[in-house]
Amino acid sequence: MAKPLPAPPDTFAPSSDSVYSDQFGFYTLDSKVPGLSQVILDKLKMKDYKDYRAALEGKGKVGFHSHKEMFQNMEDTFKFCACCSKLPSSLPDPRALKRCIKCLNVYYCTKECQRKDWSLHKKFCSMLHKVSIDRLVEWLVHTGDLPFSTEVWSRPAKDIRCWDDWLSMQGDLTSRLEPVLSGKNMTDLWTNACRPRPEEAELRDSLWRVCSEFFSRALSVGLGIKMSHLDPYSRPLTIHLVGAGHNETLGARTTDMDELSRMFPGHQGLEVVMVGPEVVQGPIMRPPLRAFGPRGRVYISAFKGLYHQFWEEVIERGEAAKPDLVVGFHPGFHASPGLGEGWLPTLLLLRDFNIPSIFTMYNNAEMENSIQILIELEMDVKDTGPNPFSSQKPEQVQSRPNKPPSHCNAFYIYFQGALETQQEEE
Ligand SMILES: [Zn+2]
Ligand SMILES: [Zn+2]
């Protein structure tokens, strides 16, 4: 089954997202703001990309003396002129870099640069204002203040089609958000952050956006379960999360997918195995189950390595159950320069074992490019479109803030098996 490597689509261009899941993505930051990757490493106190990775995996010696220093250094990684891309180090006076007073997110080296940029920046300023608040509020997920607790679904999963449906089952969130808003960590955050505490209403909205990103993962898995017509009430299900990286596994808790149990109360047992070379050490790093998860509960485990390795080393030896569904959160294979090494064997495996799969994407362009690659691999793409459970938290492109934001899990591609090829009749 020697398939040729698909060529990247014509529109292929390495993008510099704020999310750099590999070395390639990390250094493309420099194509927009020369030197930015070095600033990030310096500010996060690392020597090179290997250190950065190690730190994400909890192995590095990244240590900040205080929360103030941590937030300050994080903010410093956004300090460059949004108009001419100059870093503070290339200015005669690094303090000349001034922040837009509206969004408190982008910087300019001179009044002239700011004036020149305004016609573009004004379209993104209020969005960037939200982004810069969310970036800090996200810390409350690491402290455990977020996400807020959720209710068991009072309606069948098939009737819950969007966030509004979901929110309508949650009742009044005030009593759950109040302790977070008035909590010690929230106070600490704004004491140490490089900006004043926002208005309560703004903070409340930010709490929701940050939580929506967290819940979006479980709900996207749920979307895949619905699309593939799997019935968690009739038998236990095994779900593999391929290409899992630090987004899903850094600080992950064994309860992270519990929303699935509220979605399908009393199910027969759900197992989620996170697999990827960037999986981070933590409590979820435990062996997968050979058979079924405990009834009514979600069991999360993790494997650090490429998916086809996991398949050969663990599944084929009978040490883990075969998947009923495979999910990938923005796998990024459309921008992977060597598709062959990482994703190609995985994609071919999913195709040849006819496994229902759902992958999510940050934006429409990423979806289009990914569809093209799947089609070139003769895979049967069954459904695509905007994900009704997309994260509501906007994400800026770190090196080019004045661009439309992307959202985690904003689009999905659902595919299974190979395309039927029409046999010519003799
Ligand atoms: Zn400038
Ligand atoms: Zn602004």
CA of 32 to the centre of ligand 2 (A): 19
Q: Is the pLDDT of residue 256 over 50?
A: yes
Q: Is the pLDDT of residue 11 over 60?
A: no
Task: Report pLDDT digits (tens) over 259-276.
Answer: 999 999 999 999 999 999
Separation between Cα atoms, residue 317 and residue 328, nearest integer Å: 23
pLDDT value for 176: 95
pLDDT value for 145: 94
pLDDT value for 15: 36
Cα torsion angle, 35, 37, 38, 40, sign: positive
Separation between Cα atoms, residue 147 and residue 244, nearest integer Å: 20
Going by C-alpha positions, the residue among 415, 334, 360 that lies closest to residue 221 is: 360
- Which pLDDT band, with edges at 50, 70 and 90, does 3 fall under? very low
pLDDT value for 83: 96
- Which pLDDT band, with edges at 50, 70 and 90, does 292 fall under? confident
Going by C-alpha positions, the residue among 331, 243, 252, 210 that lies closest to residue 56 is: 252
Q: Is the pLDDT of residue 167 over 50?
A: yes
When the pLDDT of each residue in the chain is averaged and rounded to a whole number, the result is 87
- How far CA 280 is from CA of 77, 136, 148, 303, 332, in Å, comes to 23, 22, 24, 9, 18
CA of 396 to the centre of ligand 1 (A): 19
Going by C-alpha positions, the residue among 14, 11, 8 that lies closest to residue 397 is: 14
CA of 47 to the centre of ligand 1 (A): 28
pLDDT value for 19: 37
Minimum-distance ligand to the CA of 91? 1
| Helix, strand, or coil (residue 27) | helix
221: buried, middle or exposed (CB in 10 Å: 19+, 13-18, 0-12)? buried
Half-sphere exposure for 195 (CA within 13 Å, toward CB): 21
pLDDT value for 27: 67
- Give the mean pLDDT of 231-242: 96
Domain boundaries, the chain: 23-125, 220-416
Q: For the range 169-176, what are the long-range contacts, defined as Cβ-Cβ under 8 Å and sequence gap of 24 or more? A: 173/148, 173/208, 176/148, 176/149
The correct answer on CATH 3.40.50 for the domain covering 220-416 is yes
Q: What are the E-state strand segments in 78-170?
A: 98-99, 107-108
CA of 78 to the centre of ligand 1 (A): 14
CA of 11 to the centre of ligand 1 (A): 30
- Which pLDDT band, with edges at 50, 70 and 90, does 35 fall under? confident
Minimum-distance ligand to the CA of 122? 2
CA of 213 to the centre of ligand 1 (A): 33
- Give the mean pLDDT of 123-129: 97
Let me know how long the chain is.
Answer: 426
Q: Is the pLDDT of residue 120 over 70?
A: yes
Minimum-distance ligand to the CA of 108? 1
pLDDT value for 217: 96
Q: Which residues contact 29 (CB under 8 A, 6 or more apart)?
A: 16, 20, 36, 37, 40, 398, 399
pLDDT value for 12: 31
pLDDT value for 168: 96
Angle at 33 between CA 365 and CA 245, to 5 degrees: 55
CA of 403 to the centre of ligand 1 (A): 17
